[in-house]
Amino acid sequence: MTDDLQRLKNIGPASIRQLREVGIEDAATLRKLGALAVYRRLKHAFPREVSLVMLYALEGALRDCHWNRLPAGVKERLQAAAKTELRAMR
């Protein structure tokens, strides 16, 4: 196991534990899959624990910025995509 997940912005010990439980062992895997796909895995595994903030945090980690500082419109696009994904999961 590598420790590069802990170097990412917005990703703390609880998030790392959840990411590893859904098969995301390193930052490269997170980058390869993308924030939305990883959020989908997390939401499926931890439906009550994972919120849209996790999606924003993942995107921020990929962009190397705090999730509250995502560029204008990014949160809205992520939220719309997540709603579509969650409807498809039902």
The per-residue pLDDT for 3 is 73
Length reported for the chain: 90
pLDDT by 10-residue block (mean), the chain, 90 residues: 84 97 97 97 95 97 96 94 78
d(CA 63, CA 75): 13
Give the pair of three-digit tokens for residue 82: 């997540």
Quickly list DSSP for 43-83.
HHH-TTT--HHHHHHHHHHHHTS-GGGPPTTHHHHHHHHHH
Residues 49-60: tens digit of each pLDDT: 999 999 999 999
The per-residue pLDDT for 1 is 45
The per-residue pLDDT for 90 is 63
The per-residue pLDDT for 89 is 65
What is this structure's pTM? 0.91
**What is 4-89's CATH topology?**
DNA polymerase; domain 1 (1.10.150)
